[in-house]
């Protein structure tokens, strides 16, 4: 069985034309994002040529239903419509404030969460970590979805990769000043111990990938690897020159994962991390 190459992008927070100068979003230079997305598409199409692109949520900053629909559509047009391989999404807490999940799926030409797709023999499992949303930032996984996850993790022997917006365990983020202390408990799925127990006891679990933290993290456990994608747009502590971070992952059926973290500004690979 061949290896698969996946490119991850998350926390784009595209919401132009607003005055964000008085809040935390002042660190997200929205005027830079169209150019950064153009360069991302170019790198994906001409340099990396992955099998899949997965966007891990928080595409926008929520404003109101009209703007949020418009900005979600812009993401589809700027990324999905121009990338030469399949693009899939999971919803983040900012995507879902004013627009329903069904409508988000329609706007992005994606199946409604949760869903499964098989690529090159790898089973990709996309679940909804806002089921329900908690305090506008966090999320949990419902009993119904836990049963679905358990079924999908055990119904075949395919190697399995799992995706959600919220991480499935604690990641070291105390130096991430963009996340206030009181928000830290909302930085992982509330019932993550249950979700982890289900996926780790399933058949052939390789790794889980999330966004949400605005912080890169790569944790290896004997039962699987847990990765958090770095944010695309955060320039923090500066207000300009957002780095355009994203991640390239090469995955093998025996569970080997080789991830490279890319920055667009400046354009380079800033790290290469392998789980063995
Ligand atoms: Fe988030």
Work out the average pLDDT over 85-111: 98
The predicted pLDDT at position 89 comes to 98
Tokens of 215: 């912080």
Q: What percent of the chain has pLDDT over 70?
A: 100
Query: What average pLDDT does the segment 63-83 reach?
Result: 98
Q: Residue 32's pLDDT is what?
A: 97
| Per-residue pLDDT, 182 | 86
What's the pLDDT at 15?
Answer: 97
Element spanning 28, H or E: none
What are the chain's domains?
4-274 (3.60.21.10)
- The CA distances from residue 73 to 60, 104, 178, 181, 214, in Å, are 10, 9, 27, 33, 23
Average pLDDT over residues 236-261: 96
Gap from CA of 255 to ligand 1 centroid (Å): 27
Residue 71 has pLDDT above 90, yes or no: yes
Q: How far is the CA of 56 from the centre of ligand 1 (A)?
A: 9
Which phi and psi angles does 162 have, rounded to 5°? Answer: -120, 140
pLDDT of 58 strictly over 90: yes
On the question of pLDDT at 176 being above 90, the answer is no
Q: How far is the CA of 137 from the centre of ligand 1 (A)?
A: 6
Kindly provide the residue ranges of all beta strands, DSSP E only, lying in 112-255, ordered along the sequence: 115-119, 122-126, 133-134, 138-139, 160-163, 205-210, 217-221, 224-228, 246-251
Q: Does the pLDDT value for residue 242 go beyond 90?
A: yes
User: Could you identify the residue written with the tokens 């919220």?
Assistant: 166
- Helix ranges (DSSP H) in 79-125: 101-107
State residue 181's pLDDT score.
Answer: 85
Q: For residue 72, report the distance from its CA to the centre of ligand 1, in Å.
A: 15
> pLDDT band for position 1 (50/70/90)?
confident
Mean confidence (pLDDT) of the chain: 96
Q: pLDDT class for 173, splitting at 50, 70, 90?
A: confident
Task: Inform me whether the pLDDT recorded for 247 exceeds 90.
Answer: yes
Model's pTM, two decimal places? 0.97
Q: Is the predicted pLDDT of residue 175 greater than 90, yes or no?
A: no
DSSP letter, residue 86: -
CA 77 / ligand 1 centre spacing (Å)? 22
């Amino acid at each position: 069985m061949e290896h698969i190459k996946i490119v991850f992008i998350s926390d784009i927070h595209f919401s132009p034309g607003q005055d964000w100068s008085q809040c935390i979003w002042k660190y997200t230079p929205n005027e830079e994002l169209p150019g950064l997305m153009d360069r991302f598409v170019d790198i994906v199409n001409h340099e990396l040529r992955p099998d899949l692109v997965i966007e891990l949520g928080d595409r926008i900053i929520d404003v109101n239903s009209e703007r949020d629909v418009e900005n979600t559509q812009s993401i589809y047009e700027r990324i999905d419509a121009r990338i030469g391989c399949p693009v899939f999404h999971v919803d983040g807490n900012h995507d879902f404030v004013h627009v329903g999940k069904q409508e988000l799926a329609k706007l992005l030409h994606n199946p409604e969460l949760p869903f499964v797709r098989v690529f090159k023999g790898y089973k990709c499992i996309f679940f909804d970590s806002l089921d329900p949303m908690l305090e506008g930032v966090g999320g949990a996984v419902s009993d119904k979805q836990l049963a679905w996850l358990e079924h999908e993790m055990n119904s075949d022997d395919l190697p399995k990769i799992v995706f959600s917006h919220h991480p499935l365990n604690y990641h070291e983020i105390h130096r991430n000043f963009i996340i206030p202390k009181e928000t830290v408990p909302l930085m992982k799925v509330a019932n993550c111990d249950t979700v982890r127990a289900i996926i780790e006891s399933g058949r052939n679990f390789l790794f889980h990938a999330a966004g949400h933290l605005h912080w890169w993290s790569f944790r290896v456990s004997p039962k699987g690897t847990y990765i958090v994608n770095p944010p695309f747009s955060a320039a923090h502590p500066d207000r300009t020159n957002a780095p355009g971070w994203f991640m390239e992952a090469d995955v093998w059926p025996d569970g080997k994962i080789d991830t490279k973290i890319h920055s667009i500004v400046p354009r380079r690979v800033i790290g290469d991390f392998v789980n063995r």
